[in-house]
Structure 1
């Protein structure tokens, strides 16, 4: 039934309007064929192959690929980790090709997870390299280096030359971006040697060009030109038009730095000639712009403006906003050099306009991709819950069969057995009722926490620059994924609770501009992976300490969380050196805020239910106002005592 609804949803999405025509009939005919296949790994592989073959069709119409979505559902049902790796790896590549790098990294991180589950080193090396490329495109170089370094170690272990070359070349590019040119050259030379040994001409051409870029960065222009020409020679043998255009443009740039304007113009005109065979017209726009800048340097303003305008016209046609920003800036500088300041200002205004447009576009795209990640994770969790419910239903059916057989076998003990059965059923019903109440309270708390986090992220995006906003959004999406995962369970391991708590504190510290520090101390005798506690049980008291104690404090605040264990009882003490509850209440009354914290109220309800379910008095919360010898408030201490479960 679920699959039928899923395919119906795809049908409604893809048939919106009449833009698909006859192609959509083929798509749905193929999907109907998929439904007739048995739900095994062969079906998953068939769906993945179809998804790859029809990828351009769905990209063209800006629709999700239903073959990949169906492959995910079937693979999760079968716990087929190889299939999940393949789907998420392909989805990541698709998003990266559309410059949606945040989404690409999220999909490729899922591919890493499932490659690890499948215990397949080759798949893991591929996924690690792809994730590293995604983060390099986001200019998160340290994170990218970590993924490529892991991929390199793994590829060397299994002697996979292709992934070794990709990892080494990528590490070289990271060092190139960081200005570590000598280290970059060393890595490019290693990759070059391997590519030549394996007779990979395209890889050879790429690494030769990269070495040229590194030498140009070091100011060794003659060496840079030598390597650009070597790369050019390989591309000429391959008849690779894109590679030729890049090499000619690179040679033009190097000769321009040498002030050999004649040679620079010669190569840039060669780039223009070959660009007619290149599908991506950004290289042609770049060539026109470089030629215009060269004429401007020589004081030939008419020729300069003619070529710069050609670059602008091409960029307007293909919507190359970054190229338009640079072209209008070059035009402004040329007008300024000729003394026409009014036109120079006009051109500079247009350059700044495109710069602002790019910033707004990137911020909107980052937010859209983060929201898409949230939706993907939500759908994945729904699928997991449906599978979990199905398993529970099967278990209940088996249990009922056992009950019937047991009752038939013990007719002589019907009276006694009936008494104990009714008593047991009543206890189970009472416990289930309490569990449902506990779930309801958790459901109240999570939207409350998510609402506060979204308010924080909204304020941060509008008050900070794009790079910080993107970093904040990435951390927030990771926290959201942890919350969605953790709150499915009644108990989670202590290390997961503390990991999400650290991430929350890092976000609040960023939001509050570092007005407080925090420390989390866990007793050495506690095994954080074995001790189990209710999820999101500590966070409301931490949030209360920050927003009612520390934010109003003058000077640096400190939040301490100490966790100890005695027997099966866990004690968590949250201490802050804030203004204390009395002053916090006075501030709230001045602002007209009289309502009590929803998070605190819900958590107290959860603790009360935990006490009832476990039939213990050990679950409780005590709040103490801290004072110095003079009776002045020095902060607040919250002591949270909970019964703890263990995995083993």
Structure 2
């Protein structure tokens, strides 16, 4: 091996010395020949392919040709991607983007950058880059370059379950693939899978049968194995809108798939074709034969496929009146299904928790950034004062004084706005972690209905609080949804010790009438935590209505009003955040044109009513 590399190095050195004495056209021909050699070796020997790509890159640098160097970088990056040298490949391609290059070269560069992200399984980022590549290459109408990009866009959309987009791009790629039947075979297989997912059976049949012909022509056994598997599944599916149900064909294709998989030693993937064959024999009433194939499928199946095998075994044993074994497999299927559902629920809770923690960290970063801005404002103010005093002195004392006062007022207003933003990030409900713990308890108790309902309320509240917290105003519809989700979770935390109603009168346009963001939640929170504390049959009524172009929000409870113990007064103040809300309204009244907001509180022995009023914005 050392001898081989010594020879390659000697050849490279000799070519570089020779190229110095050659004309530009001869030098370009040599570089193009090296690029062609690298492409020829791509499927045979990656080390040789890399050698020729690297050689083309070095020679391009010698003649100072940006276009040739960019082509060499693209070819070298292609080899590096296959060798999983993603960082080096990315560096080469980013270098291409710093230069003004022909559109087809720029498009190829973007395509390879997308491929790097695809191999890293960052599909969203890969899709974004591939779309840029497609947009660039569409301008030069080069079908040979565009077909690969369209194919990869379709494949990623298929992975992300965006079947409509996947169909669009693969159907665009198909007519462009006439020059390369191997690539056409790949597109046909992917497209047939998507048609099958969408239950477009006629398109599925025509597409996969063409794929079968190409796979047989080129003796592509792996492709044939997948095609036979899909055809076996297709002909055995008991779908109401499947006009091509044919159990004999399903068995034939299933056995073909099994034979090829055994030949290729793909033993781990035999579960699906064995199940298809067993299912077809079951539907034909040949129960003993069905059991034989389903027994073969069982040890090679996982997850959902295994539950299908259990169900088919149950029905097969019922067919031969062996009800004891049928019950065993029915129980196994139910246990596996419950296990899968529990795993999915836990995964969803974990995902929500991770998202909440991530958003919480981002809020902490925002708080630090806001504090930094406040410090910068203070420093800037001090510097400005010093400059004014030195520059203008006593001669312009009065003018300087009024100018400074005007500047100081603006700075104070900016400070108030920044402090309001800082405080608003702290308005998110602190009960959320308790609610999440309660939801997890329902999941562990396998109470699917309650856990699903409360998870929905939890996710809606999280989304609304985090998405709307930076906006000054929100719609009545969003505020109503947030309050309903919040009260539902509070019912969970309070063991359903109170009831509530949230109504919107016909005079209110839910989507266009607005009110300050997060202003109603603290009053509702106070009603729950303090107004209804130790109250049986508590009730909270929230109502949105309009009178004379004024929007009103009424929050009423049947609790004990404000007659609370002195030691609870601090809790009331903390829960209500009254100073923050008053400051928020005062600032909005001052800065938002046409807006005027007010709060009125009416405590009584039978409860408390808080009325918020807002002039139309």
TM-score by length of 1: 0.53
Which residue of structure 2 lines up, in the alignment, with residue 353 of structure 1?
335
- In structure 2, relative to structure 1, the CA distance for the partners of 1:347 and 1:587 (3 Å cut) is farther
Match of 1:560 among 531, 544, 550: 544
Q: Report the Cα offset of residue 363 of structure 1.
A: 0.6
2:307 matches 1:325 = yes
Matches within 5 A, 1:483-562: 485-486=469-470, 492-494=471-473, 496=474, 498=476, 500-505=478-483, 507=485, 516-518=502-504, 535-541=517-523, 559-562=543-546
Gapped regions of structure 1 (runs ≥ 5): 1-48, 59-64, 69-84, 98-103, 127-159, 178-183, 487-491, 566-570, 627-632
Q: Report the Cα offset of residue 232 of structure 1.
A: 2.0
Q: How many residues align?
A: 473
Once residues 236 and 230 of structure 2 are traced to their aligned partners in structure 1, the CA distance between those partners, rounded to angstroms, is: 10
Q: Report the Cα offset of residue 543 of structure 1.
A: 5.6
Which residue of structure 2 lines up, in the alignment, with residue 602 of structure 1?
576
CA contact (8 A) 2:174 2:187 kept: yes
2:189 matches 1:205 = yes
Q: Report the Cα offset of residue 482 of structure 1.
A: 1.7
CA contact (8 A) 2:554 2:609 kept: yes
Once residues 374 and 516 of structure 1 are traced to their aligned partners in structure 2, the CA distance between those partners, rounded to angstroms, is: 26
Match of 2:466 among 481, 503, 508: 481
- In structure 2, relative to structure 1, the CA distance for the partners of 1:603 and 1:572 (3 Å cut) is farther
Match of 2:224 among 229, 244, 247: 244
Once residues 336 and 307 of structure 1 are traced to their aligned partners in structure 2, the CA distance between those partners, rounded to angstroms, is: 16
Q: Report the Cα offset of residue 53 of structure 1.
A: 7.0
- In structure 2, relative to structure 1, the CA distance for the partners of 1:206 and 1:611 (3 Å cut) is closer
Q: 1:446 is paired with a residue of what secondary structure?
A: coil
Which residue of structure 2 lines up, in the alignment, with residue 336 of structure 1?
318
Once residues 523 and 390 of structure 2 are traced to their aligned partners in structure 1, the CA distance between those partners, rounded to angstroms, is: 54
Which residue of structure 1 lines up, in the alignment, with residue 449 of structure 2?
464
2:350 matches 1:371 = no
Q: 1:412 is paired with a residue of what secondary structure?
A: coil
CA contact (8 A) 1:249 1:271 kept: yes
Once residues 280 and 311 of structure 1 are traced to their aligned partners in structure 2, the CA distance between those partners, rounded to angstroms, is: 13
Once residues 301 and 111 of structure 1 are traced to their aligned partners in structure 2, the CA distance between those partners, rounded to angstroms, is: 48
Q: 2:307 is paired with a residue of what secondary structure?
A: helix
Q: Report the Cα offset of residue 193 of structure 1.
A: 6.4
Once residues 177 and 434 of structure 2 are traced to their aligned partners in structure 1, the CA distance between those partners, rounded to angstroms, is: 55
CA contact (8 A) 1:509 1:516 kept: no
Q: 2:224 is paired with a residue of what secondary structure?
A: helix
Once residues 477 and 94 of structure 1 are traced to their aligned partners in structure 2, the CA distance between those partners, rounded to angstroms, is: 33
CA contact (8 A) 1:622 1:639 kept: yes
Q: 1:585 is paired with a residue of what secondary structure?
A: coil
Once residues 553 and 608 of structure 2 are traced to their aligned partners in structure 1, the CA distance between those partners, rounded to angstroms, is: 11
Q: Report the Cα offset of residue 324 of structure 1.
A: 1.8
Once residues 91 and 361 of structure 1 are traced to their aligned partners in structure 2, the CA distance between those partners, rounded to angstroms, is: 32
2:559 matches 1:585 = yes
Which residue of structure 1 lines up, in the alignment, with residue 174 of structure 2?
195
Once residues 600 and 428 of structure 1 are traced to their aligned partners in structure 2, the CA distance between those partners, rounded to angstroms, is: 30
Structure 1 residues 587-626: Cα deviation after superposition (integer angstroms, max 9, x where no partner) = 999xxxx88985884332324445888999x875213589
CA contact (8 A) 1:213 1:224 kept: no
Structure 1 residues 250-309: Cα deviation after superposition (integer angstroms, max 9, x where no partner) = 322444477865543331122123335889877421112122333444565554334323
Once residues 124 and 603 of structure 1 are traced to their aligned partners in structure 2, the CA distance between those partners, rounded to angstroms, is: 52
Once residues 241 and 470 of structure 1 are traced to their aligned partners in structure 2, the CA distance between those partners, rounded to angstroms, is: 46
CA contact (8 A) 1:541 1:600 kept: no
Greater C-alpha Rg: 2
Once residues 154 and 115 of structure 2 are traced to their aligned partners in structure 1, the CA distance between those partners, rounded to angstroms, is: 22
Matches within 5 A, 1:27-38: none
Which residue of structure 1 lines up, in the alignment, with residue 601 of structure 2?
623
Structure 1 residues 528-548: Cα deviation after superposition (integer angstroms, max 9, x where no partner) = 6xxxx8642232335667997
Match of 2:209 among 222, 229, 235: 229
Once residues 397 and 464 of structure 2 are traced to their aligned partners in structure 1, the CA distance between those partners, rounded to angstroms, is: 54
Which residue of structure 2 lines up, in the alignment, with residue 6 of structure 1?
none
Once residues 433 and 209 of structure 1 are traced to their aligned partners in structure 2, the CA distance between those partners, rounded to angstroms, is: 58
- In structure 2, relative to structure 1, the CA distance for the partners of 1:455 and 1:190 (3 Å cut) is closer
Which residue of structure 2 lines up, in the alignment, with residue 629 of structure 1?
none
> Higher relative CO (CA 8 A, sep ≥ 6), structure 1 or 2?
1
Q: Report the Cα offset of residue 520 of structure 1.
A: 8.8
CA contact (8 A) 2:543 2:553 kept: yes
- In structure 2, relative to structure 1, the CA distance for the partners of 1:124 and 1:285 (3 Å cut) is same
Match of 1:639 among 575, 593, 612: 612
CA contact (8 A) 1:370 1:477 kept: no
2:391 matches 1:409 = yes
Q: Report the Cα offset of residue 163 of structure 1.
A: 8.5
- In structure 2, relative to structure 1, the CA distance for the partners of 1:598 and 1:231 (3 Å cut) is farther
CA contact (8 A) 1:205 1:234 kept: no
- In structure 2, relative to structure 1, the CA distance for the partners of 1:57 and 1:350 (3 Å cut) is farther
User: Which 10-residue stretch deviates more, 464-473 or 369-378?
Assistant: 464-473
Which residue of structure 1 lines up, in the alignment, with residue 240 of structure 2?
none
Q: Report the Cα offset of residue 356 of structure 1.
A: 0.4
Which residue of structure 1 lines up, in the alignment, with residue 20 of structure 2?
none
CA contact (8 A) 1:620 1:642 kept: no
Which residue of structure 2 lines up, in the alignment, with residue 362 of structure 1?
344
Q: 1:310 is paired with a residue of what secondary structure?
A: helix
Q: Report the Cα offset of residue 573 of structure 1.
A: 1.5
Once residues 55 and 371 of structure 1 are traced to their aligned partners in structure 2, the CA distance between those partners, rounded to angstroms, is: 37
Q: Report the Cα offset of residue 212 of structure 1.
A: 6.2
- In structure 2, relative to structure 1, the CA distance for the partners of 1:401 and 1:227 (3 Å cut) is closer
Q: Report the Cα offset of residue 244 of structure 1.
A: 2.8
Once residues 521 and 90 of structure 1 are traced to their aligned partners in structure 2, the CA distance between those partners, rounded to angstroms, is: 55
